[in-house]
Structure 1
Amino acid sequence: MAGVERGVERHGRPRDPGNDAAILDAALDLLIERGATGTSIEAVARRAGVAKLTVYRRWRAKDDLLMAALEHARTPGADAPPAGQSIDHLVESIAALLGDPRFRALMARVIGASVDHPELVTAYTRRHLRPRLDALAETARQAVDAGHFPPGTDPAAVQDVLAGSIGSVLLEPEQDAARIAARLRLLLHHIGYRP
């Protein structure tokens, strides 16, 4: 059978998990440094210190490798926040993520890939962004129901304000988490949020 099965390569050698991590780290670094178009499997292999064939045995195409690198980049702090957490905790977690320069650079590269690598952006949206937006919508709904916003506030409007502000923060020069959190709280205050 062609390909890799249960951690054993085609020729029967056990797969080295250290190689997998080195390849994924190299792919993520190059994606951040050069973007999707400027990243090649050859460059990833060089950066990871492995043979090009080692990369191709695991990932047949560059986009598959880049999607795996994005998945590999996930950390507990980058997972979707739990639905139902308070708006205040949500603001803090968003601000911490947006204050991370590496995350900001990665987001810029993912957004920039939308023209030449739309499937990469689609996969990122489906696996990472959509769960975050869904959790944000549920948190907004619970905050409206709990009376933290004026009666009749549409939870979708709260979601749109926060999601839109995330996009605008990513377009600005780097900021620290405290400034980002203060900005998000100010926006929420203007649409009637009361802790």
Structure 2
Amino acid sequence: MASVERHGRPRDPGNDAAILEAALDLLIERGAAGTSIEAVAQRAGVAKLTVYRRWRSKDDLLMAALEHARGADLDAPPAGQSVDELVSSIAELLSQPRFRTLMARVIGASVDYPDLVTAYRARYLQPRLDTLPEIARRAINAGQLPGETDPGVISDILSSAIGFVLLHQEEMTAAEIEGRLRGLLRHIGYQAVPT
């Protein structure tokens, strides 16, 4: 996030939050191309100059809005998380219509706003993907996956299923998404821990 520092009156943190919420709402409603600094300022109830004092460009503002939207559920999975826990957390996140729409908007911006997608991938997606090989290795060592399983396959399967859910037009519940993910994993020999 590239904020612009200026001297003068102290910044109002309430304005910062209102601007970031407005930018996020407009990104979800209209996409990156349909979001403008003017529209963000109007939605936030601030002057356009107030936005430009904080962010140099729309790209910077949208990246800051994504960072603002980030909650604990978008952090990388905690160390020691199991495949079952990972599947449950992914399903819960993907069942949230606002999150699904946001992700679809970010993916849709890849042609015209490649920096936005690159920032999303580096800050949110890659840290999650980087944990998958270790999660898969633990599952292999525990006998939940066949010994010859390539940990990269787990990443491919989950990424593909996530893409399917994001492109799916109808809302899906966490249970439906979790069932789909578990079904795919069963096809490569995954055995869940009995509850």
TM norm structure 2: 0.93
Q: Note the C-alpha offset of 1:162.
A: 1.2
Q: Which of 54, 72, 75 is matched with 1:58 structurally? A: 54
For structure 1, the 5+ residue unaligned runs are none
2:171 alignment partner, SS class? coil
Q: Note the C-alpha offset of 1:84.
A: 2.7
Q: Which of 134, 146, 151 is matched with 2:147 structurally? A: 151
Q: Which of 95, 98, 103 is matched with 1:99 structurally? A: 95
Q: Say whether the 8 Å CA contact 1:98–1:169 is kept in structure 2.
A: yes
Deviations 1:40-87 (A, max 9, x none): 000000000001110000001000000000000001112121243111
Deviations 1:94-115 (A, max 9, x none): 0001000000000110010001
Q: Distance in 1 between matches of 2:39 and 2:137?
A: 46
Q: Which of 76, 84, 89 is matched with 2:85 structurally? A: 89
Q: Which of 162, 169, 182 is matched with 1:185 structurally? A: 182
Q: Say whether the 8 Å CA contact 2:36–2:58 is kept in structure 1.
A: yes
Q: Note the C-alpha offset of 1:186.
A: 0.8
Deviations 1:124-158 (A, max 9, x none): 10001101111222211221122111121111112
RMSD: 1.0
Q: Say whether the 8 Å CA contact 1:84–1:135 is kept in structure 2.
A: no
Give the AA of the match of 2:179.
A
Q: Give the count of matched residue pairs.
A: 188
Q: Note the C-alpha offset of 1:169.
A: 1.3
1:33 alignment partner, SS class? helix
Q: Say whether the 8 Å CA contact 1:83–1:138 is kept in structure 2.
A: no
Give the AA of the match of 2:181.
L
Identical-pair percentage? 71
Q: Distance in 2 between matches of 1:137 and 1:171?
A: 25
TM norm structure 1: 0.93
Q: Which of 85, 105, 110 is matched with 2:106 structurally? A: 110
Q: Say whether the 8 Å CA contact 2:132–2:151 is kept in structure 1.
A: no
**Worse-matched range after superposition: 76-85 or 165-174:** 76-85
1:102 alignment partner, SS class? helix
For structure 2, the 5+ residue unaligned runs are none
For 2:132, the equivalent position in structure 1 comes to 136
